[in-house]
């Protein structure tokens, strides 16, 4: 599964557009796809991670800045922006790393690959949630009287909703991946040779 430079650029552009379209309002009818996008990016953009991940990370911050300042607040005055905000970098990289790991162990369309997808996705989402939720709970000024029991409850309150939202987007990407792979597999032999870099 090798991608050409233009294919990677197209995937990166698609991820960026979906991020801009969904991150603009975290709680709108169309939920934020950021967590899923970083996981998907790690899988498809493995060869260009050194600049693709920072680019998507910068875009996430830019969208947050736009949303906050458009509401009339200063970026640094918003309750979500504290020392904990910068922990989004390792949080999102845990998702990216999950995608990288899956790509490294990907075995084509198989039950084994589906199992690896489920495992890597669950572990990376859990790591992302622990880092992002934990940093916000312990480092922001929004939580008063923080306790370990309070953090565990807060973690539990948010874990399933974020897992559910990210899983919908990743499942959609997986279905699209399968469809493209099956279509490519039915192409004539001469065309198939040229399409090996398409997935």
What average pLDDT does range 94-111 have in this prediction? Answer: 95
**What percent of the chain has pLDDT above 70?**
91
Q: What is the pLDDT of residue 190?
A: 42
Its pTM surpasses 0.85? yes
Confidence of residue 199 (pLDDT cuts 50, 70, 90): very low
**Does 18 score more than 80 pLDDT?**
yes
CA distance 150 to 67: 29
pLDDT single digits (tens) 29-78: 789 999 999 999 999 998 899 999 999 999 999 999 998 898 888 888 88
Q: What is the pLDDT of residue 27?
A: 54
Please give the span between the terminal C-alpha atoms of the chain, in angstroms, as a whole number: 5
Looking at residue 79, the DSSP 8-state letter turns out to be: T
Mean confidence (pLDDT) of the chain: 88
Q: What is the pLDDT of residue 54?
A: 97
Q: What is the pLDDT of residue 140?
A: 81
């Amino acid at each position: 599964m090798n991608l050409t430079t233009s294919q990677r650029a197209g995937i990166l552009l698609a991820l960026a557009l979906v991020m801009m379209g969904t991150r603009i309002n975290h709680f709108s009818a169309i939920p934020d796809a950021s967590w899923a996008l970083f996981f998907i990016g790690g899988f498809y953009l493995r060869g260009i991670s050194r600049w693709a991940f920072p680019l998507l990370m910068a875009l996430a911050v830019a969208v947050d800045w736009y949303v906050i300042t458009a509401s009339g607040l200063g970026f640094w005055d918003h309750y979500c922006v504290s020392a904990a905000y910068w922990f989004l970098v390792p949080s999102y990289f845990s998702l990216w790393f999950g995608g990288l790991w899956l790509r490294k162990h990907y075995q084509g369309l198989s039950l084994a690959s589906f199992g690896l997808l489920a495992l890597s996705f669950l572990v990376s989402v859990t790591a992302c949630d622990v880092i992002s939720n934990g940093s916000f709970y312990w480092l922001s000024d929004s939580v008063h009287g923080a306790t370990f029991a309070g953090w565990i409850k807060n973690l539990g309150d948010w874990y399933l909703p974020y897992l559910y939202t990210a899983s919908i987007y990743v499942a959609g990407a997986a279905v699209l991946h399968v469809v493209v792979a099956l279509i490519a597999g039915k192409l004539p032999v001469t065309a198939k040779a040229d399409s090996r870099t398409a997935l």
